[in-house]
Amino acid sequence: MVIEVKIPAVGESITSGVVSVWHKKSGEFVNEGEPLFTLETDKVSTEIVAEKPGLLETKVPEGQEVKIGEVVATIDDSKDAAVQKAEAPPKKAPEEKRKRPEAAKKPAEKKEAVATDVDHGQSGAPTPSTELSPAVRRIVEEKKLEPEKIPGTGPGGRLTKADVLKAAEGRGKAEPVGEAVSFPRPAAPSPEEAEPSTDGRFIRKKMSPLRRKIAQQLVMAQHTAAILTTFNECDMSAVQELRRSRQEEFTKKNGVKLGLMSFFIKACVEALKAVPVVNGRIEDDDFIQNNFYDIGVAVGTERGLVVPVLRDADKKSFADLERDIA
């Protein structure tokens, strides 16, 4: 039976999105729960997974804007059994068992040694790609890393964002000096994405929903917020020493590295507690004093500048803050 893959509803006010990248190509076999593509909207970027195993056939290309409920692919689950049958190894004939009587007479010690080797090999089995988080999988695909060769420090040996970033950095340092390294040329923009002017002085590109939302929010902030820039210096030697001495212990326990942003967020919370009038807003003729501490952290991504909000930052530990930022 052919199953339609439709764009799900990801929010009340979201009516469309962009298929930013296909994780599986048309004609490939997909398993249940495997990510098919990434849907990018003006508020969230989420991965859509396969609900049933089968043969995938895509209907829309990458970068195309789609409506909620639109069919973007189909999965033919009737070919699931055929694919599994083709991949199943053939059964051994009874004659082969008779031709190998000496295999059953091997010493028990050799069997135990082989079993031990197999157990050791399984204990160091790599983390399957299906267990990677969306952030880790995106870095692995962008940097063209091999996750099975990267040791995981997260719970149960899972790969964390710090693990793959360290592997990518280590691979760059491992490049021998003088060796020719070829870099792929950036793909030429398609006519739908970029439209050069007649005189060639500029190129007009269509913005993604996320970048349009970012532009709207930045313009709105200029009209509604009091813009203030201040520069302050502080002694971070104690923080640096703490990170140096406790980094390994913190990473093993929580599966994420101890960075600087969690300290900055904690400092902002304490500053707001010390000067509560700063943690307020004006509505008409009233001043609203906030008794909660939601801190926005600006993060530069390839898709643009986003500001995830860490809710109730005063109630979160350093590990919780680092996970939310990552």
pLDDT truncated to tens, each residue of the chain (326 aa)?
888 999 888 777 788 888 888 998 888 999 988 889 988 887 777 888 898 899 999 999 988 888 889 999 999 888 665 555 555 555 554 445 454 545 444 444 444 444 444 444 444 444 444 467 767 777 888 778 888 888 887 777 778 877 878 888 777 655 444 444 444 444 444 444 566 667 666 677 777 777 777 778 778 877 777 777 788 888 999 999 999 999 999 999 999 999 999 999 999 999 999 998 888 877 777 788 888 899 988 877 776 777 888 999 999 999 999 988 87
Question: Which residues on adjacent β-strands are paired with residue 4?
Answer: 74
Cα–Cα distance between 247 and 197 in angstroms, integer?
A: 52
pLDDT at residue 80, as a whole number: 60
pLDDT at residue 122, as a whole number: 44
| Residue intervals in the chain for CATH 4.10.320.10 | 132-173
pLDDT at residue 113, as a whole number: 46
All residues at 6 or more sequence positions from 276 whose CB lies less than 8 Å from its CB, including other chains: 289
Give the residue among 321, 304, 326, 270 at the shortest CA–CA distance from 40. Answer: 304
Domain 209-325 - what CATH class?
alpha beta
Query: Considering the entire predicted model, what is its pTM?
Result: 0.38
| Residue intervals in the chain for CATH 3.30.559.10 | 209-325
Contact at 8 Å (CB) between 41 and 11? yes
| Residue intervals in the chain for CATH 2.40.50.100 | 2-83
> Does CATH number 2.40.50.100 belong to domain 2-83?
yes
Amino acid 60 reads V
Cα–Cα distance between 256 and 275 in angstroms, integer?
A: 32
pLDDT at residue 119, as a whole number: 46
pLDDT at residue 231, as a whole number: 85
pLDDT at residue 177, as a whole number: 45
Q: What is the DSSP string of 128-182?
A: PGGGS-HHHHHHHHHHT--GGGS---SGGG---HHHHHHHHHHHHHTSPTT----
Query: Whats the size of the chain, residue-wise?
Result: 326
pLDDT at residue 18, as a whole number: 87
At residue 199, φ and ψ (nearest 5 deg) are: -95, 0
Cα–Cα distance between 269 and 312 in angstroms, integer?
A: 10
Contact at 8 Å (CB) between 243 and 258? yes
Give the residue among 94, 72, 103 at the shortest CA–CA distance from 6. Answer: 72
Contact at 8 Å (CB) between 54 and 36? no
Tokens of 29: 């076999």
| 250-295 tens-digit pLDDT | 999 999 999 999 999 999 999 999 998 888 877 777 788 888 899 9
Alpha helices (runs of H) in 174-260, residue ranges in sequence order: 209-224, 237-254
* Fold assignment, 132-173: Dihydrolipoamide Transferase (4.10.320)
pLDDT at residue 108, as a whole number: 46
pLDDT at residue 318, as a whole number: 94
